[in-house]
Amino acid sequence: MLENVLNLIKSHAMDAINNNPEIPEDKKQQTVETTTQAVTDGLKQNLSMSNLGNLKNMLSGGTATATSNPIVDSIKNTVVNALVQKVGLSQGIASTLSSTVVSSIFNAFASKAGQANGGQGLDLGSIMSQFGSNGDSKEGILGTLGKFLH
């Protein structure tokens, strides 16, 4: 399951970055790694702020969507800051890339969670249980994911 989440994040980051001619070739790999880490960090930050219910609602196709959600906005900001500071991308390029990647990732999470009922997607209940019962755990799936990325 952890591998599925990591692959999903990296895949969407890679697609958006490789298809963006404004990102220099020599910075694309660093941009993928930084974006993946920033998304993971953003998820951990939001889970530690007890937003687990909001995240679960959004990923289940609830009223909050990936385009109008404070969690998504927070993660987008985390990605923009990381890309500007660590990779040296301009604010404009980082913002465009962040919006594309983060929205794409959350839409994919929601889609995979929806498919879980048919046995093909991510089981949202299993994923959420690995976050910790109160949403404050930095261990579980995202803590482990962060360890792989460092």
Half-sphere exposure of 145 (CA within 13 A, CB side): 28
- pLDDT greater at residue 3 or residue 79: 79
> What's the pLDDT score for residue 19?
92
pLDDT tens for residues 94-140? 999 999 999 888 888 777 665 654 544 455 555 555 444 344 444 55
Angle 125-44-97 from CA coordinates, rounded to 5° = 105
pLDDT tens for residues 37-53? 999 888 878 776 566 66
Distance of alpha carbon 56 from alpha carbon 112, whole angstroms = 13
pLDDT tens for residues 5-41? 778 889 999 999 999 999 999 999 999 999 999 998 8
Q: Which amino acid is at 136?
A: D
